[in-house]
Amino acid sequence: MTKQTSNTHQPWEKYYGPNLGYVQEQYERYQEDPESVEPSYRELFESFGAPPQHQSSTASVSFETGGTAIDPQSLKKAVAASKLVWNIRTYGHLAADIDPIGLDEKPQVSFLEPKEVGLSEQDLASLPAALIWEDAPEGVSTGLDAIRKLREVYTGTTAYEFSHVHDEKERDWLNQRAELRAVDGGLTPEERKALLERLVQVEQFEEFLHRTFVGQKRFSIEGIDMLVPVMDELVRGFSKAGAEHVLMGMAHRGRLNVLAHVLGKPYGRIFSEFHHAPNKDLMPSEGSMGINFGWTGDVKYHLGEKREIGEQGKTRLTLANNPSHLEYVDPVVEGFARAAQEDRSQAGYPTQNTNSAAAILVHGDAAFPGEGVVAETLNFNQLPGYQNGGAVHIIANNRLGFTTESGDSRSTHYASDLAKGYEIPIVHVNADDPEACIAAVRLACEYRMMFKKDFVIDLIGYRRYGHNETDDPETTQPLIYKKVRAHDTAATIFSKKLQKDGVISETTLGELREKIVDVFKAEYEEMKNGKQASSNPFPFASSIDETPLELVKTSVELEKLRSINENLLKRPDTFNVYPKLERILERRATALDEGEKVDWGLAETLAFATILSDGTPIRISGQDVERATFAHRNLVLNDSQTGEKFCPLHALPEAKASFAIHNSPLSEASVIGFEYGYNVYSPQTMVIWEAQYGDFANAGQVLLDQFVMPGRSKWAQKSSLIMLLPHGYEGQGPEHSSARLERYLQLAGENNCTVVSLTSAAQYFHLLRKQAAMTTREDAKPLVVMSPKSLIRNPRVASSAAEFTEGSFQATIEQSGLGDAPERVTRVLMCSGKIAVELEDAIEKDADTDWSWLHILRIEQLYPFPAKEVSNFLEGFQNLEEIYWVQEEPHNMGAWRYIDPNIRDVAPKGVEVNYIGRPERSSPASGYQHVHTFEQQKIIQTALRQNQNTSKK
């Protein structure tokens, strides 16, 4: 097409006022980016150039495009038609047929009608289709054809929401793919038959359970039966794209069906879990695992499973275990996926291949907007330390949350609206249209491969029974369930469609149902006869190190430490360290010399370096971990002139594994879940999460209660996650004092974790190396560290080089300088953490006092309680009268209520056990410095006052 220059062919001459201004605005956008305007405008600007800045002529003109004369009135019609196309693409979802049982009133969508933009059908018929729809398929020749076809695409059983995606090229790609359905041949006859067979299988499985195990909970899939074929298709799509791992998370609804058909869990195993245990003393009556495995187990609809599929390059499927806290599995699965994608075998950051693993998360429609952890997890979408190339989110939308309807459970139009804030594309699809559901899945897979971002499929159905099968839903939703009872199942609807299309016959359908039910009956009989497949209690296999833990060496030779320390101080010649930080770091050069000391920060860095040199990869994350809240770590340096980053551990010659360090988003629950998931899926990696302040872990309490602490007991799920929780009373108020030590001690049981509060840098060094050695062991368990704040730079916490080159972690430490005359000791103080250092300081400042009556034992490891070490210590004092536990936390917090019975168990007969510390409080600490100082001094003075009868408060 050639540019027209004659005035008689200029289309702009009749335009003035707002119309001319609109065209001028479009031309300005066209100049910046031709792709930013509609194709019809691009064609006009390419042909006729720029519209004039001013125009007053009223002369009649016409112009030609492709040999067809178009007058200015036609141009106005083209502009209006383009606006109508935009309306259809943007708001067509409001008129879509995505409500299977007609619960919602149809919104007013008159803006999708031609008359709303000043057009008639005749006007549209006079325009060529290509003028308003650049990719119009064959057979769509006029503007009217185009509008009708686009309405068919955007208001059918699939509704598309892409307008919130800001990247225009990405949005155009999404629209183009959606519109390809207008010419796509859809599923082949064989694919349609296979889809029907799967739907019948899903339906009959639920009906068999319903008949066979009357009144038992199963949280059936019925009403969103297409969830199983949707997940099947996702797995196929990811596997074909090269994924070696597909990681899945979901709550209860439909879980048993997904386990059976997507994960391939044998029917017999599922049926056996419905049977009451023959010995209820050994097995939960509703549960699925006995304590003969060494763990208490969980109910059947919480359990995970694993499976391998594919003949070449097998794909490993994993469905995560999930408690009743619905959405809290989301970040765990995201962590699985990131761990599966990373190669940690080389120094530096791990190498990530997002094509090697993909995550699928199934959400409830009430939970998706209702639980904050969903938003936290969606925020991972593009974060460098947490993104995994895009998760596909499926909202299993049955329109109810327990008994609560949508109008009472969310403030948004759709359950999926939360995802708009993260620019995640959303497709709503009617769960009664199986072919539309499969098309949505294929779009999601293609999008993830293309853009490496999250995608949401809102699978809209209903719930055939109550929240669980013991619940009568008609007491709260009588009108809904009147519709549900009269509504055909998805399998029935689809089978009628296939019969109408001549794909199957009614006889074939009957035979299919009979064949499927016969399989269930046979499996059930085998189960009753004790022939069902056995359960695998350990869903995550890993290499096991059987070396006795006491033989694990944590000390490191001095020459190796010195070499590592020297290398840690090396930086590229052109790198400019912030001068103040440079001086601090350079002090570390002589820290291992005789007479010098290694502080907490350097001890940690040396531990990391030596662990990497042993070939164990490390991942550490949390708010500000690169520098650390208290600026003691500085493992990522920032060039003071260019802002470029450099991590000394990445350039360490001795490193034989990766070191990942990531500042986290300002959230705790999702990050704890992510790191736990990463560690479970990659048990050979030492994974660390650090709280900005210890009590910030409060916001992740569900993850601690439901995953980190009981995971092994409930699911045989092994984790060696380290949690660093800054703890210590320095007068900084209730939120910046206590890491809530008491909560972790309350969660401790069955040797499920280690809880420590340390008082020396060397202890921290040995503990980290010990934990790293445990990662591949069967007895691996989480480590909770009440890490220091002010003690980080306290000289009393620093350690000599000899303490790193000799010895190991000690569960208890005797206070040096005391206890030289055991027969004279009448009082023993036991304590941990900062208060122990303050007691040491007070004693040394009062050196003239006779302290022979006193001894102090630091309990560095609180759980498991070191009973043997404490008992051996106490045996040496024949005249002991009293033992006091000293803490800075209030009486009802800290370690006291946990440690009291443990001390009494090992205390010599007749020796009193009592408490020194703050009284009972509802808040952890005072917000006034002078009050804090007074209370702290009183605790120390009381503990060190001889013959003081301190009553238990």
Quick one: tokens of 327? 């959405």
Q: Decide if pLDDT at 947 tops 80.
A: no
* CA pair distance 273, 527, nearest whole angstrom: 10
Structural Rg of the chain based on CA atoms: 34
Higher pLDDT, 59 or 111: 111
Where is pLDDT greater, at 904 or 14? Answer: 904
Q: How far apart are alpha carbons 10 and 441 in whole angstroms? A: 47
Count other Cβ atoms within 10 Å, centred on residue 764: 25
**pLDDT tens per residue, range 329-358:** 999 999 999 999 999 999 999 999 999 999
Nearest to 65 by CA among 22, 128, 155: 128
The least confident of 305-314, 640-649, 870-879, 920-929 is 305-314
Tell me: cis bond preceding 34? Omega within 30 of 0 counts: no
Largest CA distance in the chain: 118
Q: What is the pLDDT of residues 735-753, one digit of tens each?
A: 899 999 999 999 999 999 9
Considering only CA atoms, which of 459, 436, 300, 453 is closest in space to residue 364? 459
Confidence of residue 407 (pLDDT cuts 50, 70, 90): confident
Cα–Cα dist 755/782, whole Å:
9
Q: Is the pLDDT of residue 839 over 90?
A: yes
Residue 225's pLDDT is what?
96
pLDDT at 208: 94
3-state secondary structure of 25: helix
Element holding 813 (H helix, E strand): strand 812-814
Residue-by-residue DSSP string for 343-373: E-SSSSSPEE-GGGEEEEEEEETTHHHH-HH
230 near 457, Cβ under 8 Å?
yes
- Per-residue pLDDT for 602 more than 50? yes
How many CB atoms sit inside 10 A of residue 897's CB?
14
Q: Which residue has the higher pLDDT, 537 or 627?
A: 627
> Residue 740: left (phi > 0), alpha (psi -120 to 50), or beta?
left
Average pLDDT of the residues of the chain: 88
What digits encode the pLDDT tens for the residues 800-817?
999 999 999 999 999 999
Name the 3-class secondary structure at 541.
coil
The vertex-214 CA angle with 213 and 215, nearest 5°, equals 115
Structure-block tokens of residue 44? 């006009």
pLDDT tens digit sequence for 480-490: 888 889 999 99
Residues 267-304 have pLDDT tens digits of: 998 898 887 434 333 333 333 333 333 345 677 767 88
> Which carries the bigger pLDDT value, residue 684 or residue 180?
684
CA torsion 423-425-431-435 (nearest 10°) is: -170
Which residues contact residue 641 at a Cβ distance below 8 angstroms, ignoring those fewer than 6 apart?
Answer: 576
pLDDT at 760 over 80: yes
For residues 739 and 697, is the Cβ–Cβ distance under 8 A?
yes
Place of tokens 């275990």: 321
Percent of the chain with pLDDT over 90: 72
Average pLDDT over residues 577-587: 90
Q: Which residues pair with 586 in a beta bridge?
A: none
Residue 547: predicted pLDDT? 57
C-alpha to C-alpha distance for 575 and 646, rounded to whole angstroms: 8
C-alpha of 946 from chain center: 54
For residue 862, the SS3 value is: strand
User: What tens digit of pLDDT does each residue of 43-83 get?
Assistant: 778 877 888 765 443 333 344 444 455 567 878 888 999 99
pTM: 0.88
- Taken as a whole, the chain contains a residue count of 953
What's residue 71's pLDDT? Answer: 66
- Asked whether the predicted pLDDT for residue 545 surpasses 80, the reply is no
Name the packing angle between helices 72-91 and 39-48 (round to 10°): 150
Q: Is the pLDDT of residue 379 over 70?
A: yes
Helices 600-613 and 761-774: crossing angle, nearest 10°? 30
In one-letter notation, the amino acid at residue 4 is: Q
Q: What is the 3-state secondary structure (H, E, C) of 486-528?
A: CCCCHHHHHHHHHHHCCCCCHHHHHHHHHHHHHHHHHHHHHHH
Decide: 678 and 687 in contact? Cβ < 8 Å.
Answer: yes
Q: Give the C-alpha separation, 864 to 886, whole Å.
A: 19
What percent of the chain clears pLDDT 70, i.e. is strictly above it?
90
pLDDT of residue 217: 81
* Beta strands in 588-720, from DSSP E residues, in sequence order: 618-622, 637-638, 645-646, 659-663, 686-690
Q: What is the pLDDT of residue 805?
A: 97
Cβ pair 942, 885 in contact under 8 A:
no
Question: Looking at residue 10, what is its pLDDT?
Answer: 58
Residues 296 and 713: beta-carbon distance below 8 Å: yes
